[in-house]
């Protein structure tokens, strides 16, 4: 079986952060506990998803601000913030503030497009400008400019006792190089490369030139790097769903396999008008998963991953999965835990 050209350099994980609407604090605390566990296990990064009007993390920047005060080393990312819900200037202020508080560990991932179920939420979200909002790449460009220190206004100086800046404040040096774009199409991959962002790839892509998931994802990685100033050194992180079972109980193994089997039918062909292709979840012993990853065309060209945790498992399941990833799967991929 062919191996990847280089050992896995950075190992991360991604969690949805589900909670019970009757007791939301407990779910948020559980997410913070997982991030603390990830740091103890030597993971390089922990990422949180973003959900609005659902029972998942709606304010990942706030959650990561809390995580930054409970950890000292692990990088903290969002995968991803949908910018259709955000004001880029205000988001730039929040991101820079949390990055400074974390000591430069924030890795914000963003995406574009209209908010989910826009017709149902637009009157609450944009009551006066719903039909005029631009949900394209220009929204990302504005965020990039603000984070990277481009002027936000033509005015600066003093008015009485108040001092004003023409740039978003605070400014956090280096944050502009740690912005990620969550892309699942060739157009998105090219745009991210042209604008010097990092690329987050996931278990969902658009079937444009092929119906083979690995081939599609590989084409995105290469298109991104072909247009990025850093070329082959441009950062790409892959986010497949990975469920090692090395230390799982018999009951957990059955449940994990049933979960993956229920999601498998959608991986056989493009789904819906957007022709979305889904990657199969990888369930099994770490040696078996490592072999399957080494056979994955896109995985062989990256050295960073943020493996996604399944949506609906319990906290004890996530602890087992993260422990197996860090102690079994990661080393099988050539990764070494952080000190």
Q: How many Å apart are CA 146 and CA 149, to the nearest integer? A: 5
Q: How many Å apart are CA 37 and CA 322, to the nearest integer? A: 8
Q: Tell me if residue 21 falls in helix, strand or coil.
A: coil
For residues 185 and 276, the answer to whether their CB atoms sit within 8 Å is no
Place of tokens 């929040």: 94
* Radius of gyration, alpha carbons of the chain: 20
**Integer CA distances (angstroms), 62 to 19, 97, 182, 248, in order:** 16, 10, 20, 32
Q: How many Å apart are CA 146 and CA 110, to the nearest integer? A: 14
Q: What are 206-248's pLDDT values in tens digits?
A: 999 899 999 999 999 999 999 999 999 999 999 999 999 999 9
Phi, psi of 314 (to 5 degrees): -90, 165
Q: Which regions of 126-172 does DSSP assign to beta strands (E)?
A: 157-159, 162-164
For residues 260 and 244, the answer to whether their CB atoms sit within 8 Å is no
Instruction: Please say if the pLDDT value at position 180 is more than 50.
Output: yes
Place of tokens 């603000």: 146
> Mean pLDDT score of the chain, rounded to an integer?
96
Residue 309 CB partners (closer than 8 Å, separation 6+): 13, 14, 15, 16, 241, 318, 321, 322
**Run of H or E including 58:** none
**CATH class of the domain at 12-154+167-255+268-332:** alpha beta
The proportion of the chain whose per-residue pLDDT surpasses 90, expressed as a percent, equals: 97
* pLDDT at residue number 5: 54
Q: What are 260-289's pLDDT values in tens digits?
A: 999 999 999 999 999 999 999 999 999 999
Burial of 97: CB neighbours in 10 Å, binned 0-12, 13-18, 19+: middle
Stronger pLDDT, 3 or 89, i.e. the higher one: 89
Q: Tell me if residue 142 falls in helix, strand or coil.
A: helix
* pLDDT at residue number 33: 98
Instruction: Please say if the pLDDT value at position 46 is more than 60.
Output: yes
Instruction: Please say if the pLDDT value at position 36 is more than 90.
Output: yes
CA torsion 32-37-43-45 (nearest 10°) is 0
Q: Confidence band (pLDDT; 50, 70, 90) for 319?
A: very high
Q: How many Å apart are CA 80 and CA 306, to the nearest integer? A: 12
Q: How many Å apart are CA 306 and CA 332, to the nearest integer? A: 16
* pLDDT at residue number 212: 96
pTM as predicted: 0.96
Instruction: Please say if the pLDDT value at position 2 is more than 60.
Output: no
* pLDDT at residue number 6: 78
pLDDT, average across residues 159-185: 97
Bridge-based pairing state of the strands 106-111 and 157-159: unpaired
Q: How many Å apart are CA 283 and CA 266, to the nearest integer? A: 16
pLDDT, average across residues 285-312: 97
Question: Where are the alpha helices (H) located in the chain, listed in sequence order?
Answer: 24-41, 60-70, 88-102, 118-125, 137-147, 186-194, 213-227, 250-263, 286-294, 315-324, 330-332
Phi, psi of 271 (to 5 degrees): -110, 130
Q: Tell me if residue 81 falls in helix, strand or coil.
A: strand
CA torsion 70-73-74-76 (nearest 10°) is 70
Instruction: Please say if the pLDDT value at position 4 is more than 80.
Output: no
* 206: β partners: 276
The proportion of the chain whose per-residue pLDDT surpasses 70, expressed as a percent, equals: 99
């Amino acid at each position: 079986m062919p191996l990847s050209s280089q050992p896995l350099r950075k190992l991360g994980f991604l969690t949805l952060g589900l909670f019970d609407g009757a007791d939301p604090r407990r779910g948020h605390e559980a997410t913070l506990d997982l991030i603390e566990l990830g740091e103890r296990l030597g993971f390089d990064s922990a990422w949180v998803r973003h959900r609005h009007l659902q029972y998942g993390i709606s304010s990942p920047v706030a959650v990561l601000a809390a995580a930054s005060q409970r950890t000292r080393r692990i990088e903290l990312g969002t995968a991803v913030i949908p910018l259709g819900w955000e004001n880029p200037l205000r988001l730039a202020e929040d991101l820079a503030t949390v990055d400074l508080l974390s000591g430069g560990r924030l890795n914000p991932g963003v995406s574009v497009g209209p908010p989910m179920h826009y017709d149902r939420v637009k009157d609450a979200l944009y009551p006066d400008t719903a039909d005029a909002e631009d949900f394209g790449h220009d929204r990302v460009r504005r965020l990039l400019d603000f984070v990277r220190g481009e002027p936000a206004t033509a005015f600066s100086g003093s008015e009485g006792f108040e001092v004003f800046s023409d740039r978003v404040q605070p400014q956090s040096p280096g944050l502009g190089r740690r912005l990620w774009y969550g892309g699942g199409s060739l157009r998105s991959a090219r745009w991210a490369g042209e604008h010097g962002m990092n690329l987050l790839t996931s278990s969902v892509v658009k079937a444009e030139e092929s119906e083979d998931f690995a081939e599609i994802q590989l084409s995105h990685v290469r298109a991104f790097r072909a247009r990025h100033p850093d070329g082959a050194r441009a950062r790409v992180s892959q986010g497949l769903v990975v469920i090692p079972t090395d230390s799982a109980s018999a009951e957990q193994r059955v449940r994990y396999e049933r979960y993956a089997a229920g999601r498998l039918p959608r991986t056989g062909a493009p789904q819906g008008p957007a022709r979305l292709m889904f990657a199969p979840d990888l369930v099994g012993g770490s040696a078996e998963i490592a072999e399957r990853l080494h056979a994955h065309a896109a995985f062989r060209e990256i050295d960073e991953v943020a493996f996604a945790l399944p949506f609906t498992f319990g906290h004890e399941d996530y602890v087992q999965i993260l422990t197996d990833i860090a102690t079994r799967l990661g080393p099988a991929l050539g990764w070494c835990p952080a000190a």
